[in-house]
Amino acid sequence: MKRRVSMSVAWLLASATQSALAAPEIAGHAQRQPLNLTAISMFLVFVVATLAITFWSASKTRSMKDFYNAGGSITGFQNGLALAGDYMSAAALLGLTSMIFFNGYDGMIYAVSFFVAWPLLMFLFAERIRNLGQVTIADIAAFRLDQRKTRTMMAFGSLTVVCFYLVVQMVGAGQLIQLLFGLSYNQAVVIVGVLMAVYVTFGGMVATTWVQIIKAVLMLFGTSLLACLALRQFGFSLDAMFAQAIETHKNGPAIMLPSKLVADPFAMLSLSVGLVFGTSGLPHILMRFFTVRDAKEARKSVFVATGFIGYFFLVVALLGVAAIGIVGRNPLFYEGGMIGGKLIGGSNMPVMHLAKALGGDPALGFLSAVAFATILAVVAGLTMAGTSAIAHDLYAMVYKKNQATLASEKRVSRIASIGIALIAIVLGMLFKDQNVAFLVALTFSIAASVNFPVLMLSIYWKGLTTRGALIGGIAGLVSAIALVVLSPAVWVKVLGHAAPVFPYDYPAIISMSVAFFFMWLGSVTDRRAQANEERERFHDQFVRAQTGIGASGAASH
């Protein structure tokens, strides 16, 4: 195994170096930036460090318990950092600063919605998920319901979320890297795909966790340093920073007030519901609770993650405002001579231009490397979630009926991680020139309409039955996909129709309500003898969820 990891390290470093130095032309509308050797060097340092950790993790991963949940050996603080690393995405850094740069206050609504999800996770799920589950979120739903049917539905729900979210990350990786590093889009996608397969296949959850921790530390350090440099430009006065932003922006004081996004309260509410409850249904986030030894550490990990994530979004908001006052006054960074003109490199580049303005090429290179590290950490977490759903839920528990051997399950897990990486690479290339923004809405809507309702009712409602969970889960999945397809993001922007059938981009408030309704209806009308047995088993589940009695970090082997 060590020899295979060493060969992978050598091949990846050679490929990355050769590709970077080749610096092919960038396709698309974005203008290619000059080759940034600082960014490439820092990227290679990160790759070497994380692959060294994978090499170390491979020697520690001896059982499926180690592979799936790091043997429950991660501390609450470490897991909190890893959760933050899984959640603080490049999209948040680039996208939210861009939204604030162009729209001011409206961009803060996204930041608040992303952040509010975490206290909800801590109070509703963290302790109970740790007490009830071992490997995947299907463990919780299948605790008192039909094992095969429930696990199959939850596994496919998780895989749907993972695949859609992976496409977003792969397309983002390709576009970001071709812009900032000088690589071609396809080369960038292949490098990300191969790296994520190596992390998961050889290092399992231990390697994935440490990749996320390193990425979180880099992200927090990089954004904090940039914020300090920005504040120094204004004498460390927030009043001076906001005053210059208002003076610079074409909308003036209006950027400090809610505008078009809040004009439709239902749209804002549906967006917030999707972001808040969708987070509580993301499999790669929830499975991190299984890596700690007990419910206390699970609670602690969410508390730590909430603090770091809240701090991160505050800094991101600060950087967005600073970019208005600094980048908006510098004609070197955009075309048009004013805020709202075409930024060099595209509309998601304000924070990158801010780094260049404040710290030159070293700062830009470091932030570029951090953004790439962010994508690697997220795709590693997603791949781990998808691999666990295939190897543990579908293969070991459903197909083999919990009779799979250690060797066969380990083999399937490695095949699954490589297969998911290959699918991600292919889909990333197929969606190269597509607007994939709708996939974010679809991902969070499915998580909020399938995973969250099943978990919520299985933990808190005695009346839920397998029949209700299946009917509601399918209804939530179908309605979420259908409404996103009929929304402006797909029906108009992708399919080219004149007007959308469904007027909102985020349909979670409707699809989630549909899921809850059909879960209730399917359960209260279920008169089967098995349904009564499932209701009776709720007491045992409730005691374990609250006390942890009987909970163990052990996986199926």
Residue 11 has pLDDT above 50, yes or no: no
Nearest CA-CA partner of 179 in 94, 246, 82, 278: 94
Q: What is the pLDDT of residue 347?
A: 73
Domain ranges of the chain: 33-58+74-547
Per the prediction, the chain carries an average pLDDT of: 83
Highest mean pLDDT among 17-26, 115-124, 210-219: 210-219
C-alpha span between 374 and 372 (Å, rounded): 5
How many Cβ atoms sit within 10 Å of the Cβ of residue 86? 28
C-alpha span between 473 and 157 (Å, rounded): 8
Each residue's pLDDT tens digit, 336-389: 555 555 777 677 788 888 998 998 888 888 888 888 888 888 888 899 999 999
C-alpha span between 207 and 52 (Å, rounded): 9
C-alpha span between 387 and 408 (Å, rounded): 14
C-alpha span between 129 and 111 (Å, rounded): 26
37-60 and 350-388 helices, crossing angle to 10°: 20
* All residues at 6 or more sequence positions from 263 whose CB lies less than 8 Å from its CB, including other chains: none
Residue that has been written with the tokens 């299984």 in this structure: 290
Each residue's pLDDT tens digit, 435-456: 676 787 788 889 999 999 999 9
> Band of the pLDDT at 54, cuts 50, 70, 90?
confident
Highest mean pLDDT among 40-44, 54-58, 309-313, 550-554: 309-313
- What are φ and ψ of residue 333, in 5° steps? -100, -15
Strands (E), 226-366: 334-335, 342-343
Q: What is the pLDDT of residue 2?
A: 40
Q: What is the pLDDT of residue 260?
A: 66
For range 214-227, the mean pLDDT: 92
Residue 465 has pLDDT above 90, yes or no: yes
C-alpha span between 220 and 465 (Å, rounded): 44
Residues of the chain with pLDDT > 70: what percent?
89
CA 305 from centroid of its chain's CA atoms: 14
C-alpha span between 164 and 187 (Å, rounded): 21
How many Cβ atoms sit within 10 Å of the Cβ of residue 299? 18
Query: In angstroms, what CA-CA distances link 17 with 40, 167, 172, 295?
Result: 8, 25, 21, 44
Residue 179 has pLDDT above 60, yes or no: yes
C-alpha span between 369 and 43 (Å, rounded): 5
Reading the block at residue 25, the tokens are 């032309």
DSSP code string of 198-215: HIIIIIHHHHHHHHHHHH
Query: In angstroms, what CA-CA distances link 299 with 86, 123, 303, 313, 489?
Result: 17, 8, 6, 21, 37
The one-character DSSP state at 341 is S
Each residue's pLDDT tens digit, 252-267: 888 887 766 666 788 8
CB-CB contact of 90 with 222 (8 Å): no
What is the signed CA dihedral for 346, 347, 348, 350, rounded to 10 degrees?
Answer: 100
Each residue's pLDDT tens digit, 199-208: 888 888 888 8
More confident residue, 523 or 5: 523
For range 86-102, the mean pLDDT: 83
> Band of the pLDDT at 525, cuts 50, 70, 90?
very high
* All residues at 6 or more sequence positions from 163 whose CB lies less than 8 Å from its CB, including other chains: 386, 423, 424, 427
Q: What is the pLDDT of residue 219?
A: 92
CB-CB contact of 19 with 191 (8 Å): yes
More confident residue, 525 or 21: 525
* All residues at 6 or more sequence positions from 345 whose CB lies less than 8 Å from its CB, including other chains: 30, 31, 33, 179, 352, 353
Q: What is the pLDDT of residue 460?
A: 94
CB-CB contact of 436 with 167 (8 Å): yes
Reading the block at residue 388, the tokens are 């666990």
Each residue's pLDDT tens digit, 222-235: 999 999 999 999 99
CA 247 from centroid of its chain's CA atoms: 36
342-343 and 334-335 beta bridge pairing = antiparallel
Residue 521 has pLDDT above 50, yes or no: yes
For range 167-184, the mean pLDDT: 77
For range 67-93, the mean pLDDT: 87
Top-tier CATH class for 33-58+74-547: mainly alpha
Strands (E), 417-499: none
C-alpha span between 516 and 441 (Å, rounded): 19
C-alpha span between 42 and 340 (Å, rounded): 32
CB-CB contact of 290 with 130 (8 Å): yes
Exposure string (b/e) for 368-401, b if CB count within 10 Å is 16 or more? Answer: bbbbbbbbbbbbbbbbbbbbbbbbbbbbbbbeee
- What are φ and ψ of residue 338, in 5° steps? -160, 165
Each residue's pLDDT tens digit, 486-510: 988 889 887 888 889 998 888 999 9
Q: What is the pLDDT of residue 4?
A: 44
Strands (E), 383-453: none
Reading the block at residue 156, the tokens are 């496919």
For range 123-131, the mean pLDDT: 88
Reading the block at residue 69, the tokens are 């949940």
Residues of the chain with pLDDT > 90: what percent?
34
Residue 192 has pLDDT above 90, yes or no: no
